[in-house]
Structure 1
């Protein structure tokens, strides 16, 4: 995940940790928009950007829907619609969970998959050339 996006997501969680629920939601919305921009989707409203993440097969349908939920609540917070009825802790946490789902779908899961694929291919290549590869086992890494 790009460090700038990780920083914004961390700020969202940090806001939540001090019960700044609206700020957490605003930063979650900012994070979702930054995710789209990091994927080269820079034109149009956030609605368009989120839908384009899906259209480019960068997220599954449920992750697209999660991003839209972050957008809906984030827009309310951004436009002062929560002044009379502020967002509560449970709602804010739900939005952060959805933001994390977007981050996982776009960055974390693909990176884990690529790492596993590279490890499998390296193991296969080593077997084909007769080069031994070793993976530490619990017994070999245990300390006396």
Structure 2
């Protein structure tokens, strides 16, 4: 990213400045805004001054934020979309939203497999009873449920962080693999094996 046009310098308190610059990607040429709070004030706002400033300082914030989801092949579209939304929330550091959406995904996935009665606690246990998930996957699903319940019921005094969100999303993805993606891959493998037997 290289400075593109004049930057903006705002003194926010004594000895502290908000530095912002339009930045162009060296590859795709699209623009973003880089910013940080610094005790160093560039001599001017023109690129000739901003280039050395950004060469020695890393932006602490970018706008617009880069939002990144995930693709979930062989997962029902509405469940896959919610799971991708969980990852998008995580990518912009909205960890509570990511965890709450992961809980939603677990419940939606259970309903999609025909487990529709009772609380999420009961749905998760029923998935394991039906051998749709392994016992350790059941425990992972309950962990997601517990984290998500905190968000849903306003128990947010203790903050969640990137590690919490990453673990929750990792387990969510494993649950989706076990319920949908793994069986789809096995079916595909069986179909290819059967086709080989029928080949001349």
State if a TM-score over 0.5 links the two structures.
yes
**What is the number of residues matched between the two proteins?**
126
| CA offset digits 1:24-67 (Å, max 9, x no partner) | 00000000000000011111000110111111111111111111
Relative to total residues, which structure has the larger helix share, 1 or 2? Answer: 1
Aligned with residue 103 of structure 1, among 161, 176, 184: 176
**1:89 aligned residue:** 162
**2:196 aligned residue:** 123
The answer to whether the aligner puts 1:21 opposite 2:95 as a matched pair is: yes
- Which protein has greater RCO, CA pairs closer than 8 Å, 6+ apart? 1
In structure 1, runs of 5+ residues without a counterpart are 131-144
Q: Which stretches of structure 1, 4 residues or more, deviate above 4 A after TM superposition? A: none
Where 2:154 maps in the other structure, the secondary structure is coil
Q: Distance in 1 between matches of 2:154 and 2:174?
A: 26
In structure 2, runs of 5+ residues without a counterpart are 1-74
Alignment of 1:41-56 (within 5 A): 41-56=115-130
Relative to total residues, which structure has the larger strand share, 1 or 2? Answer: 2
**1:32 aligned residue:** 106
Aligned with residue 73 of structure 1, among 135, 147, 166: 147
